[in-house]
């Protein structure tokens, strides 16, 4: 069953058409990858789904419900969480405070505290540093914190924007292992990645974007050796 349906979506920044007539779906239980060159419209698509950006045309459905005009905080409440490009952790706040921030829509403090402990169990490196300022963490640790912060709202759909950006290869593999693990635990994931090969190896299906439009899509296993992917990824 489709958890997320994007129909004929267009998003502009002033006169710039960043996304043009995009249609895609993410089924419950899937990991779906969006790949494409810089500026192809991947981040814009995620920001439209998390309701930070307002589409010009098109519809976004979540669990069959039209959320095209839902405020961003409501999107978090119904189960959509984003781990943004560049992590965007609050550098001068502790790890624990950053995680609390991710739980801003939750009403029970006791449950929130229990979930923070769960995150420290899942990401022991964060647990060992819970009072450390987020700005002093390594890039990989900040990425783990950004993912953990998104998970604090107990999302059904996790939007992951460039989780491997700027990280050493060994940490990149660790991040993708986390992606697969989260998915096995039932989180549906829409992933934007420059690291096309690893992303396809860790996802069920892939959509390729070029200049704001979807050019083709298919099973990740089939596309991983497709020359068109390389072409799109390198920007033609």
- Residues 58 and 40: their CA atoms lie apart, in Å, by 18
- Closer to ligand ATP by Cβ: residue 41 or 102: 41
- Closer to ligand ATP by Cβ: residue 38 or 131: 38
In angstroms, give the least distance from the CB of 45 to ligand ATP. 7
- Closer to ligand ATP by Cβ: residue 123 or 207: 207
Helix (H) or strand (E) holding 2: strand 2-13
| Measured CA distances, 184 to 141, 169, 179, 205 (Å) | 22, 23, 9, 16
In angstroms, give the least distance from the CB of 141 to ligand ATP. 22
In angstroms, give the least distance from the CB of 170 to ligand ATP. 23
Spatial CA neighbour of 33 closest among 236, 176, 153? 176
- Residues 193 and 166: their CA atoms lie apart, in Å, by 12
In angstroms, give the least distance from the CB of 166 to ligand ATP. 13
- Closer to ligand ATP by Cβ: residue 99 or 172: 172
- Residues 118 and 152: their CA atoms lie apart, in Å, by 10
Neighbours of 111 (CB within 10 A): 12
Residue in this structure with the two tokens 């952790």, named with its chain if needed:
89
- Closer to ligand ATP by Cβ: residue 38 or 185: 38
In angstroms, give the least distance from the CB of 163 to ligand ATP. 13
Binding site for ligand ATP (CB under 6 A): 13, 16, 18, 36, 38-44, 85
- Residues 225 and 221: their CA atoms lie apart, in Å, by 8
- Residues 133 and 146: their CA atoms lie apart, in Å, by 14
């Amino acid at each position: 069953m489709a958890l997320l349906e994007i129909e004929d979506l267009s998003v502009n920044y002033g006169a710039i058409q960043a996304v043009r007539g995009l249609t895609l779906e993410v089924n419950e239980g899937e990991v779906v990858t969006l790949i494409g060159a810089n500026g192809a419209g991947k981040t814009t698509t995620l920001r439209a789904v998390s309701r930070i950006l307002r589409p010009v045309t098109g519809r976004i459905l979540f669990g069959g419900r039209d959320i095209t005009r839902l405020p961003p905080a409501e999107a978090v409440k119904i189960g959509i969480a984003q781990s943004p490009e560049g992590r965007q952790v609050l550098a001068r706040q502790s790890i624990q405070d950053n995680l609390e921030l991710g739980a801003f829509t939750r009403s029970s403090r006791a449950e929130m505290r229990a979930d923070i402990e769960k995150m420290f169990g899942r990401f022991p490196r964060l647990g060992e540093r819970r009072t450390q300022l987020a700005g002093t963490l390594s890039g990989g640790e900040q990425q783990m914190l950004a993912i953990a912060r998104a998970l604090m709202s107990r999302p059904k759909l996790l939007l992951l924007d460039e989780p491997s950006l700027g990280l050493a290869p060994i940490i990149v593999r660790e991040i993708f292992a986390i992606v697969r693990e989260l998915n096995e635990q039932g989180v549906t994931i829409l992933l934007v990645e420059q690291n096309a090969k690893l992303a396809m190896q860790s996802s069920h299906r892939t959509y390729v974007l070029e200049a704001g439009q979807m050019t083709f899509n298919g099973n990740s296993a089939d596309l991983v050796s497709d020359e068109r992917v390389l072409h799109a990824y390198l920007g033609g």
